[in-house]
Amino acid sequence: MHELAITEAIVTEVCEHVGEAHVRRVVVEIGRLAAVVPEAVQFCFELASTGTPVEGAALEIIDIPARGNCRQCGKSIELGDSFIGTCGECGGIDLEIVSGQELRIRSVEVV
């Protein structure tokens, strides 16, 4: 389960930025193509934050949909949960991924 390592990295990063300030809330963006299960990150958060300034903080996860642009016709389309997709306008398969691969800390609220 690589989500535990990812969650530990999130907690470590937050702790490095807030010092000893108590964290109330952490907001994380996870794209659908990031190969990370949001529910697993949520599950691991309490364990990873124990004994740190992040302990007891709420974790909010923002789901970022997968979107791509068709290189043939330029249309923007929503993709499924994989890289496989075709343009509904022209049927093209040459798609540029423009969102859905995100995995980042968006904000941290401290007391």
For the cut 70, the answer to whether the pLDDT of residue 1 exceeds it is no
Greatest pairwise CA separation for the chain in angstroms:
55
pLDDT of 79 = 84
Total domain count for the chain? 1
The model carries a pTM of: 0.87
* Single-letter residue type at 59: L
pLDDT of 89 = 82
Contact 103, 70 (CB under 8 A): no
Quick: pLDDT tens for 48-97. 999 999 999 999 999 999 999 999 999 998 887 656 667 878 888 888 99
**Whole domain around residue 74: which residue ranges?**
2-110
Concatenating the DSSP letter of every residue in 50-68 gives: TTSTTTT-EEEEEEEPPEE
Instruction: Give the contacts of 79 (CB within 8 A, at least 6 positions apart).
Output: 32, 33, 65, 66, 67, 68, 85, 95, 97, 100
pLDDT of 82 = 59
pLDDT of 2 = 92
pLDDT of 81 = 63
CATH of the domain at 59: 3.30.2320.80
Quick: pLDDT tens for 9-18. 999 999 999 9
Contact 96, 72 (CB under 8 A): no
Antiparallel, parallel or unpaired: β 23-31 and 58-64: parallel
pLDDT of 83 = 61
Quick: pLDDT tens for 22-57. 999 999 999 999 999 999 999 999 999 999 999 999
Provide the β-strand partners of residue 58. 25
